[in-house]
Structure 1
Amino acid sequence: MDLRGASAEALAAVTDELDSHVGSGDQAARLADDLFSLATTLRSEGALRRFATDGSIPAEAKQGLVTEVFGGKVADGALAVLTTAVGHRWTATRDLADTLEHLSVVTLVKAAGHDSGRLADELFTWAQAVKNNPELRDALSDPARSVQDKAALIDGLLTGKTLPSTRTLATQALAGSYRTVSSALASYQKTVAEVHGEGVATVRVARELTEAETSRLAEALTTQYGRPVHLNTVVDPTVLGGLRVEIGNDVIDGTVLSRLDDARRRLAG
């Protein structure tokens, strides 16, 4: 999550607080839901949000108010994270709600444990499905359809096929805190990687890579970038051969088409 100044310091503090409350199973799911609910409430209640982030108000007063408003309505862990959050200064008022949503995702990732790699893959697959299916994309972005209706559509498509955490995040992406559902899913995928100190590479190939090829590529990128790299593979018919790797702002283009273009430029020069 890209925050600066006081908000970056506050994020570090509330992340430490979260670590002492993340559990597993239903407990983690409740904590994640409550953190997301708090984020949604703060976005919709401008007066409360401004009070909670006002640096001129004593921390004790802000903590007392949020305890009064949310005590008994959210899990103790979520309330502890919120009271820690409002005790810190924030660079921008929106940063508090954005941080709580981010921590909701972090909670689900940490609770996934050994399944976190599967969570990353399922989020990517769902994001690709939304991107490549105009009817699905339109249904999820249609302002005339209620969030409940869209959530029911997601449940129907993903229940029994994905982790519960994947369905939760697919539904959270509908909230409108990001410009589009696709941008929300991209942010969630980035968070999954960050929690585990990984980079994310999108690999475009003409055919599915074998397990051995995937392993060799991951090892090569890990060596090059100095940290583990999670691969998201896209089979792209426009790739004539070879592969194209996008990681952060870097592009490694080893496709046949790219090599042909290079050859043409050298001949023209």
Structure 2
Amino acid sequence: MGSATTQALAASAEALTTATVTLDTARELFAAARAAGGSAALSGALADQSADPAARQALVGRVFGALSPEALNLLGTIAAQRWSSADDLVDGIETLAIRAVAKADQAGVEGELFQVIRIIAENPELELSLGSRLGEPSKKSELLEKILGSSVSAGTLLIAGSIAEQPRGRRVRAALQDAIQVVAAQRGRGVATVHTATALTDAQRQRLADSLSRTYGTAVSINEVIDRSIVGGIRVQIADDVIDGSISTRLTDLRSRLAG
């Protein structure tokens, strides 16, 4: 990610703090991301650093004039920024849409998205269908809605379905994992994925969350994965950091030392 994109993402997130958004606003932003992602000419024009920012904002008005004032204002902010590439601009619109879902009081979205990832991982045929380039993109979101039903919130369905419709070369599970981080960032939290051989007790989960919060200086949510292969102990991943205290890793290290 280039420095221009980093600054543009920060400016877009800042614009969201003073905006009044709903799930409908987020839905419009996702639609704008699909439109820009599906047109190299449009995304290129919106990300053209040689064009005057006011001209790029005017283009937003011409192309997306039917959207709500809130969505138009946010898209105008995005268009006024300097982006390292047209692809980064499309990513920026999607990121802002995900943040809008988080701001629209959709409690529990991080945990629900994590469950969606687990459902996809445990169903190879579903993952194959979502990753296929064949068929109508809208059918993918309809498939997820049919499978998930009322077990997740409307915000989670919106994020998961929108990503499935426009993965842009990404694996859906990886894109959903990124979405979890965006939702957590919008709420000023971190997210840790914890692999453990047996389920943590509530007390253990709270102690781990408290410890990670002290270490990283921010509140941390725990997503738990039961993984019998690690034998015992836990493996924690938070952002790019991995803390591996699993017995299986210790045994592997021991075997390596003995073999060496």
Q: TM-score, normalised by structure 1?
A: 0.87
Q: 2:99 aligns with which of 93, 96, 106?
A: 106
How much is the aligned-residue C-alpha RMSD, in angstroms? 2.1
Q: Cα gap change, 1:64/1:212 in structure 2, threshold over 3 Å: closer, same or farther?
A: same
- Alpha-carbon distance between aligned partners in 1 of 2:91 and 2:104, rounded to the nearest angstrom: 20
SS at match of 1:77: helix
- Alpha-carbon distance between aligned partners in 2 of 1:129 and 1:52, rounded to the nearest angstrom: 36
Unaligned ranges ≥5, structure 1: none
Q: 2:121 aligns with which of 131, 136, 153?
A: 131
- Alpha-carbon distance between aligned partners in 1 of 2:64 and 2:147, rounded to the nearest angstrom: 34
- Alpha-carbon distance between aligned partners in 2 of 1:194 and 1:178, rounded to the nearest angstrom: 24
Q: 1:70 aligns with which of 41, 44, 64?
A: 64
Alignment check: 8 A CA contact 1:112 1:119 kept: no
Report Cα offsets for 1:213-233 as digits up to 9, x if no partner.
Answer: 111111122222222222111
Q: 1:143 aligns with which of 133, 140, 143?
A: 133
Counterpart AA for 2:16: L
Unaligned ranges ≥5, structure 2: none
Q: Cα gap change, 1:246/1:65 in structure 2, threshold over 3 Å: closer, same or farther?
A: closer
State yes or no: 1:171 paired with 2:161: yes
Counterpart AA for 2:15: E
Q: TM-score, normalised by structure 2?
A: 0.90
Counterpart AA for 1:70: F
Counterpart AA for 2:28: D
Residue in 2 that maps onto 1:60:
54
Q: 1:93 aligns with which of 86, 96, 103?
A: 86
Report Cα offsets for 1:44-88 as digits up to 9, x if no partner.
Answer: 2222222222222222222223212221x1111111112222223
Alignment check: 8 A CA contact 2:8 2:82 kept: yes
Give 1:170 deviation, angstroms: 1.2
Give 1:262 deviation, angstroms: 4.6
Residue in 1 that maps onto 2:41:
47
Residue in 2 that maps onto 1:80:
73
SS at match of 1:159: helix
SS at match of 1:160: helix
**Which protein has the larger Cα radius of gyration, Structure 1 or Structure 2?**
1
- Alpha-carbon distance between aligned partners in 1 of 2:81 and 2:216, rounded to the nearest angstrom: 34
SS at match of 1:246: strand
Give 1:263 deviation, angstroms: 4.7
Count residues in correspondence. Answer: 259
Counterpart AA for 2:57: Q
Residue in 2 that maps onto 1:15:
13
